[in-house]
Amino acid sequence: MIEVREVTKRYGTKTVVDKLSFTAKPGQVTGFLGPNGAGKSTTMRMIVGLDAPTSGDVLVNGHSYVQSAAPLQEMGVLLEAKAVHPGRSAVSHLLAMARTNGIPRSRVDEVIGLAGLSSVAHKRVGAFSLGMGQRLGIAAALLGDPAVIMLDEPVNGLDPEGVLWVRNLLAGLAAEGRTVMLSSHLMSEVSLIADHLVIVGRGRLLADTTVAGLATAEGVRVLSGDPANLRNVLGGPGVTITSGGPEELFVAGRTAREIGMAAAHYGIPLFELTPKTASLEEAFMDLTRDAVEYEAAR
Ligand SMILES: Nc1ncnc2c1ncn2[C@@H]1O[C@H](COP(=O)(O)OP(=O)(O)OP(=O)(O)O)[C@@H](O)[C@H]1O
């Protein structure tokens, strides 16, 4: 479990993270989402203990991560632009990490297999593509078989097959009861991977929701042979009906099923019944628009 409680981070007079609170729970994949500069990396650095909050608390499994006796076994971390010696092979890099953390050699071979790096395990890391580097970073995060995994932009640079691989891997880890958190600035990527969404802009919490919750239904487009009658039948508290054309109604506050049942009951002909939802991308853009404008104006 990762708990961020009322965390604020200031650099000089600039507030980069602003009273941010959220929890990444075991058994689910939490997507940490926000436009560039929203404060995601800063928050993750505070979770790891590389930066100290100006105020507030960050807890990993109920305590501060820097006090962890076995850090790799407690939380696996991939931070952006992680430095790996370019002359080393993937195996020697992971072996060095394993040796200094009391992790057996057999686990190195295991994570290399898990990350799909077996064929390049002895190649110089300096010759790795961005995607292979990301796979190595994820392998390193899994080395200690941790109950908590936190990855900053893990699908950055991966091709669609790589994105699918990350998705299946993280879903599997969450299904085992682990806490999985990943950041991204792309809704399209995160919505494929995460169940739980924490959305930030300008360091503030904008939404703590689920993918389904964000894709809220906006209404139902109805084409009918008798729109006036249908309007009377469907009206009621919490229902808004607007007319789009001679046969067209747009109904908010009733499901397509309710509209279909009511129309059948009163013998009103329907030609079309189309639920309209805002796309996740649109919902994300709406939520973060102010934050992005602020970034662009600086
Ligand atoms: N050490 C620092 N000193 C001053 N400002 C900093 C420092 N580190 C980060 N910032 C500023 O904090 C803001 C948030 O940066 P951060 O890297 O956390 O955002 P992010 O959401 O991870 O963005 P990205 O998706 O671009 O990585 C940015 O405006 C950045 O310039």
Q: Are residues 57 and 187 in the same domain?
A: yes
What is the pTM (predicted TM-score) of this model?
A: 0.79
Is 266 a pocket residue for ligand 1 (Cβ < 6 Å)?
no
Report if residue 15 sits inside a domain.
Answer: yes
- Domain assignment present for 149: yes
Are residues 227 and 204 part of one domain?
Answer: no
Q: Decide whether any atom of ligand 1 lies within 6 Å of the 42 Cβ.
A: yes
Residue 285 lies inside a defined structural domain of this protein: no
- In this structure, the answer to whether residues 30 and 178 fall within a common structural domain is yes
* pLDDT tens by residue, 161-213: 888 889 999 999 999 999 999 999 888 888 888 989 999 988 999 889 888 77
Q: Is the CB of 25 under 6 A from ligand 1?
A: no
Query: ipTM beyond 0.90?
Result: yes
57: CATH: 3.40.50.300
Residue 117 lies in a domain: yes
- Residue owning the nearest CA to atom 26 of ligand 1: 36
- What's the domain count of the chain? 2
Q: Which of 4, 41, 288 to mutate to test the pocket of ligand 1 (most atoms within 8 A of CB)?
A: 41
Q: What is the distance in A from the centroid of ligand 1 to the CA of 86?
A: 26
Q: Which domain holds residue 94?
A: 2-210
> From edge to edge, which strands make up the β-sheet containing 2-11?
14-24, 2-11, 55-60
| Average pLDDT, rounded, for the chain | 89
Summarize pLDDT for 120-150 with one digit per residue, the tens.
Answer: 999 998 888 888 888 999 999 999 999 999 9
> Is residue 125 domain-shared with residue 256, that is, in the same domain?
no
Helices (H), ranges, the chain: 40-48, 71-74, 90-99, 105-114, 130-142, 160-175, 187-193, 211-214, 227-234, 256-265, 280-297
Domain boundary among 182, 210, 238: 210
**Do 64 and 186 sit in the same domain of this protein?**
yes
Q: Are residues 100 and 126 in the same domain?
A: yes
Tokens of 284: 């994300």
For ligand 1, whether the C-beta of 16 sits within 6 Å is yes
Q: Indicate whether 199 and 270 sit together in one domain.
A: no
Q: Are residues 179 and 223 in the same domain?
A: no
